[in-house]
C-alpha cells in the first residue's frame, strides 16, 4: 500500500481498496458477496483480533496510557494477562485531552496556563471527531458505555470568507454554505433547463424522462416553476443571489459534493462523546481498573536481555527512581518521546523511530460569554471556511442553546501560520480575535478567556498526531525486538495514525504479535 503525507485529505483505505484486497484474496465471488452486503464492512482499523489461550509467565508492562496503550491493556485484561501501565502524566488519554475549567499545563520553555471556563464547558485539544466508519473506536464506545452525540462537520449555515484579490468580487464577504449551494445549483440548473428546452442537448432520455429531469432540476435548485429562472427565495435566506461566476471564482464551489466522502475528515456522520473525548480513555481506565495504572511515572530507560525487560522510571511526585521488570514491554509512547529514551532497541529500529514525524498541531479554545453564533447567526456546529491565518475555526457540536460556549478559534497542524504559536499566549489570542472578528464582529465583546495548546510544546507529547510513514518503515516499527515491541499509533498497519482509529489498529497489531510470541515462549 502506498502512503502519502496527507495532512488535509488524510486518506484511509477506501472501501474500493478494501474490496480490491478481498478480490485478490478470495477471487471475484468474495467481492460480489461484499458488494451485496454491508455486514462485511470492517473499519479502517481492520478486524479486532479474536485470540485465545493464556500464556504462562507473561507479565507485560505498557508504557503510556494513550489510546493505544489503554486499548492494549484492555484487551490483555480480557485475556487474563498480568500487566501494568506506566503513564508520565496525571491523566490518561495522551493526545486525547479534554480541556476544561481547572486544566493547567506549562508549555515546554513557555508559559503556564490555567483554564477558567465555567463547569460544563470544554474543548477537545487533541482528537475531537470520529467518523462513523471508525468502527474500532466506536465499538469500544459501545462496549464501554460511552454515550456519543453527533459531531456536526458540515452545516448549511456556515460562512465562507476569503480575503485577498483571488476571491474576486466576493472578497471580504461572508457567504453562507447554503447560499452557495442554492445559488450555484440554481444557476446551473437554469442553464441546463434552458438547454433542454431548446433541444440543444443530446440527451439519452425519452421525452417523458426529459420532463421528469426538468421537474427535478426545477425543484432541486428552486427555479421558478413558471419561467424556470433562478432568483432569491425564502429558503435561501435574505439577499440577492450571488453570480455563478463570482462564486466559482471565489472557490466557494470547492466544498460542494453531492454526497460526503466515506473516508477522511469530511465523512458524515461523525460523532464525539458527550462531555468530551476524554470520556473514551476514562472508560478504558475504569474497565482496566485503577490498580493497573501508575501515574506520574516518567520512563527513563528500557533495558532487556533474553529473560526479561526492565523499565526505570522517575516518580515525578516524589522524585524517586523506581524499576519494574516484566517479560514484555510494549512501548505505546509517541515516537518523538521514544527517540529521546535510553531504550535497548536496534539501530534499525531507532532509525525508524527517529524518522517518524509528528504534526505541528495547535489549537486555541475561546470561552465565550454568549453563544452569539447560535443566537445571531443560527450556526449550530460546523466550521468557518476561510483563508484567514487561523486554520480551522469551529463552532461547538454540543450544548446547543445553553448560555456560554467554547469556540475552536485556531486549529492548524502545518503551514506558516503555526509560527504564531511562538508568540506569547496573549498575542496568540489577540491574533485569533482580530481575524475572527472579520467574520464575527461580536468576538471581542463576547470573549471571556482562552486556553491554547501547542502539542510540540506539551511535555510527554512533543508533537501532535503521527504523520503517516511509508509501509516499509511501519513494517520495521512493528517488529518484535526480543522482549520489546512498539504499539504506538505511528505503527498502525493499514490505517492512518492521525486518528484514534490508528491507535486502535496499532494496539491490535501489537496485541496479536505479543500474544503469539507469549504463547510460543
By beta-carbon proximity to a second copy, the closer residue of 334 and 396 is: 396
Q: Which residue has the cell 475552536?
A: 408
Whether the Cβ atoms of residue 136 and residue 115 lie closer than 8 Å to each other: no
418-437 b/e (C-beta count within 10 Å ≥ 16 → b): bebbeeebeebbebbbebbe
CA angle (319, 324, 328) in 5-degree steps: 140
Smallest distance from a second copy to CB 35, Å: 4
Burial of 132 (0-12, 13-18, 19+ CB in 10 A): middle
By beta-carbon proximity to a second copy, the closer residue of 257 and 320 is: 257
Smallest distance from a second copy to CB 69, Å: 23
By beta-carbon proximity to a second copy, the closer residue of 279 and 467 is: 279
Smallest distance from a second copy to CB 266, Å: 10
Query: What distance in Å separates the CA atoms of residue 55 and residue 341, rounded to the nearest whole number?
Result: 29
C-alpha cell at 454: 501547542
Q: CA neighbours within 13 Å on the CB side: how many for 451?
A: 27
The total number of residues shown for the chain amounts to 521
Query: What distance in Å separates the CA atoms of residue 25 and residue 294, rounded to the nearest whole number?
Result: 44
Give all strands of the β-sheet with 148-151 in edge-to-edge order.
Answer: 130-131, 270-273, 148-151
By beta-carbon proximity to a second copy, the closer residue of 254 and 348 is: 254
C-alpha cell at 67: 489510546
First-residue to last-residue Cα distance in the chain: 32
By beta-carbon proximity to a second copy, the closer residue of 1 and 203 is: 203
By beta-carbon proximity to a second copy, the closer residue of 225 and 520 is: 225
Smallest distance from a second copy to CB 122, Å: 14
Phi, psi at residue 125, to the nearest 5°? -75, -25
Smallest distance from a second copy to CB 62, Å: 26
Smallest distance from a second copy to CB 437, Å: 17
CA 165 to chain centre: 32
Q: Is residue 313 classed as helix, strand or coil in its secondary structure?
A: strand
Smallest distance from a second copy to CB 509, Å: 23
By beta-carbon proximity to a second copy, the closer residue of 39 and 306 is: 39
C-alpha cell at 92: 490518561
Q: Which of 365, 398, 448 is nearest to 120 (CA)?
A: 398
**Per-residue DSSP letter, 239:** S
By beta-carbon proximity to a second copy, the closer residue of 149 and 427 is: 149
- DSSP state string for 57-97: S-EEEEE--BHHHHHHHHHHHHHT-EEEEE-SSSSSBTT--
Which residue intervals of 298-346 are DSSP H helices?
335-338
The CA distances from residue 458 to 125, 196, 313, 417, 470, in Å, are 11, 60, 19, 19, 26
Smallest distance from a second copy to CB 18, Å: 9
Q: Which residue has the cell 420532463?
A: 211
Smallest distance from a second copy to CB 307, Å: 43
By beta-carbon proximity to a second copy, the closer residue of 90 and 202 is: 202
Characterize the bridge pairing of strands 484-486 and 328-331. parallel
By beta-carbon proximity to a second copy, the closer residue of 51 and 201 is: 201
Smallest distance from a second copy to CB 21, Å: 13
3-state helix, strand, coil in the chain (%, to 5): 35, 20, 45
Smallest distance from a second copy to CB 306, Å: 44
By beta-carbon proximity to a second copy, the closer residue of 215 and 340 is: 215
Smallest distance from a second copy to CB 261, Å: 5
Spell out where 335-404 has E strands.
342-343, 362-368, 383-386, 393-394
Smallest distance from a second copy to CB 97, Å: 22
Is cis: bond before 269, omega within 30 of 0?
yes
By beta-carbon proximity to a second copy, the closer residue of 378 and 521 is: 378
By beta-carbon proximity to a second copy, the closer residue of 1 and 195 is: 195
Whether the Cβ atoms of residue 458 and residue 472 lie closer than 8 Å to each other: no
Amino acid at each position: 500500500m502506498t502512503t502519502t503525507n496527507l495532512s488535509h485529505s488524510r486518506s484511509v483505505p477506501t472501501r474500493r481498496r478494501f474490496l480490491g484486497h478481498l478480490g485478490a484474496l478470495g477471487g471475484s465471488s468474495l467481492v460480489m458477496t461484499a458488494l451485496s452486503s454491508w455486514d462485511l464492512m470492517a473499519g479502517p482499523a481492520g478486524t479486532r483480533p479474536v485470540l485465545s489461550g493464556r500464556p504462562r509467565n507473561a507479565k507485560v508492562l505498557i508504557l503510556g496510557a494513550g489510546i493505544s496503550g489503554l486499548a492494549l491493556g484492555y484487551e490483555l485484561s480480557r485475556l487474563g494477562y498480568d500487566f501494568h501501565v506506566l503513564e508520565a502524566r496525571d491523566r490518561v488519554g495522551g493526545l486525547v485531552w479534554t480541556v476544561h475549567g481547572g486544566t493547567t499545563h506549562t508549555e515546554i520553555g513557555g508559559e503556564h496556563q490555567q483554564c477558567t471556563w465555567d463547569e460544563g464547558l470544554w474543548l477537545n485539544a487533541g482528537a475531537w471527531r470520529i467518523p462513523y466508519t471508525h468502527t474500532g473506536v466506536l465499538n469500544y464506545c459501545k462496549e464501554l458505555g460511552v454515550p456519543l452525540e453527533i459531531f456536526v462537520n458540515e452545516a448549511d449555515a456556515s460562512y465562507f470568507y476569503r480575503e485577498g484579490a483571488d476571491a474576486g468580487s466576493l472578497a471580504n464577504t461572508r457567504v453562507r454554505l447554503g447560499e452557495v449551494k442554492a445559488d450555484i445549483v440554481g444557476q446551473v440548473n437554469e442553464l441546463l433547463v434552458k438547454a433542454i428546452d431548446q433541444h440543444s442537448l443530446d440527451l439519452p432520455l425519452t421525452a417523458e424522462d426529459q420532463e421528469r429531469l426538468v421537474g427535478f432540476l426545477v425543484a432541486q435548485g428552486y427555479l421558478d416553476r413558471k419561467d424556470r429562472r433562478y432568483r432569491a427565495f425564502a429558503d435561501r435566506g435574505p439577499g440577492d443571489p450571488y453570480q455563478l461566476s463570482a462564486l466559482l471564482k471565489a472557490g466557494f464551489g470547492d466544498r460542494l459534493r453531492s454526497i460526503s466522502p466515506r473516508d477522511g475528515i469530511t465523512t458524515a456522520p461523525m460523532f464525539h462523546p458527550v462531555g468530551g473525548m476524554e470520556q473514551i480513555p476514562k472508560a478504558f481506565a475504569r474497565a482496566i481498573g485503577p490498580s493497573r495504572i501508575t501515574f506520574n511515572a516518567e520512563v527513563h530507560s528500557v533495558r532487556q536481555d533474553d529473560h526479561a525487560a526492565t523499565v526505570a522510571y522517575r516518580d515525578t511526585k516524589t522524585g524517586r527512581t523506581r524499576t519494574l521488570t516484566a517479560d514484555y514491554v510494549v512501548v505505546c509512547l509517541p515516537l518523538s518521546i521514544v527517540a529521546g529514551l535510553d531504550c535497548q532497541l536496534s539501530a534499525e529500529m531507532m532509525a525508524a523511530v527517529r524518522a517518524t514525524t509528528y504534526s505541528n498541531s495547535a489549537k486555541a479554545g475561546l470561552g465565550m460569554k454568549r453563544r452569539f453564533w447560535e443566537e445571531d447567526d443560527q450556526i449550530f456546529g460546523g466550521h468557518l471556511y476561510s483563508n484567514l491565518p487561523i486554520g480551522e475555526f469551529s463552532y461547538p457540536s454540543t450544548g446547543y442553546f445553553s448560555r456560554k460556549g467554547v469556540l475552536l478559534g485556531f486549529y492548524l497542524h502545518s503551514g506558516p501560520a503555526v509560527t504564531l504559536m511562538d508568540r506569547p499566549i496573549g498575542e496568540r489570542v489577540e491574533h485569533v480575535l482580530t481575524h475572527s472578528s472579520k467574520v464575527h464582529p461580536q468576538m471581542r465583546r463576547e470573549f471571556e478567556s482562552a486556553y491554547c495548546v501547542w502539542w510540540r510544546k506539551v511535555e510527554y507529547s512533543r508533537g501532535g498526531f503521527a504523520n503517516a510513514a511509508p509501509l516499509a518503515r511501519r513494517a520495521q516499527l512493528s517488529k518484535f525486538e526480543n522482549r520489546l515491541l512498539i504499539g504506538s499509533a505511528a505503527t498502525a498497519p493499514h490505517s492512518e495514525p492521525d486518528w484514534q482509529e490508528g491507535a486502535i489498529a496499532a494496539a491490535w497489531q501489537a496485541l496479536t504479535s505479543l500474544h503469539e510470541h507469549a504463547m510460543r515462549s
